[in-house]
């Protein structure tokens, strides 16, 4: 059986890959469709992906013990070039973090203050999995929005990642 560290690295690698796949798909979208209010959780394709990168950056800052204040929101990334730049910077930081992560660190507690001001604490491995799951959820929304707007979404299943990145 794979270790928790190997599984965590694999899932975070999947997250980076899937984010990049969806960003590449967004380059094919008409500019007006990128910002079209679709009624989804964050309105548009651009803002949904802005929420993904903003939230991932917030979690990584917590993992590193340097919480962002304020946390970046979707409005932080007003256009596709800004969104690309944020994802590129974040991916490099996340990949560096992954390379330095140890099995022992996964059992350490991460502490943070939630949106409503409450103090929270959970194991690192739990918050890592939450971050992956949260991003996957919102990328699923992007897939639906792309289809509703008449575009073909990229393959983003975990099995597609594993087919390209066997370990």
19 and 87 Cβ atoms separated by less than 8 Å: yes
CA 156 to chain centre: 13
- d(C-alpha 7, C-alpha 118), whole Å: 30
CA 44 to chain centre: 16
Residues counted in the chain: 167
Helix 4-26 / helix 124-148 crossing angle, nearest 10 deg: 30
Is the peptide bond preceding residue 70 cis, with omega within 30 degrees of 0?
yes
- d(C-alpha 51, C-alpha 36), whole Å: 16
Q: What is the pLDDT along the chain (167 residues), one digit of tens a residue?
A: 469 999 999 999 999 999 999 999 999 999 999 999 998 889 999 999 999 999 999 999 999 999 887 878 888 899 999 999 999 999 999 999 999 999 999 999 999 988 888 999 999 999 999 999 999 999 999 999 999 999 999 999 999 999 999 87
| The predicted structure's pLDDT at residue 2 | 63
Tokens of 55: 């939230």
Tokens of 63: 């993992």
| The predicted structure's pLDDT at residue 1 | 45
What torsion, rounded to 10 degrees, do the Cα atoms 142, 147, 151, 153 define? 50
| The predicted structure's pLDDT at residue 75 | 86
Is this model's pTM higher than 0.85 or not?
yes
- d(C-alpha 13, C-alpha 95), whole Å: 8
| The predicted structure's pLDDT at residue 167 | 73
């Amino acid at each position: 059986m794979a270790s928790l560290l190997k599984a965590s690295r694999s899932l975070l690698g999947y997250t980076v890959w899937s984010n990049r796949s969806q960003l590449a798909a967004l380059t094919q979208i008409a500019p007006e469709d990128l910002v079209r209010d679709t009624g989804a959780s964050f309105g548009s394709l651009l803002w949904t992906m802005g929420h993904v990168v903003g939230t991932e950056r917030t979690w990584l800052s917590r993992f590193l013990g340097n919480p962002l204040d304020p946390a970046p929101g979707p409005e932080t990334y007003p256009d596709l070039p800004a969104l690309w730049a944020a994802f590129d910077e974040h991916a490099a930081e996340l990949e560096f973090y992954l390379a330095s992560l140890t099995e022992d660190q996964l059992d350490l507690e991460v502490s943070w203050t939630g949106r409503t001001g409450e103090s929270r604490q959970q194991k690192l491995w739990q918050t890592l999995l939450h971050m992956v799951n949260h991003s996957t959820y919102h990328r699923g929304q992007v897939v639906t929005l792309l289809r509703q707007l008449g575009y073909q979404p990229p393959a983003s299943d975990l099995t597609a990642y594993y087919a390209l990145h066997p370990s």
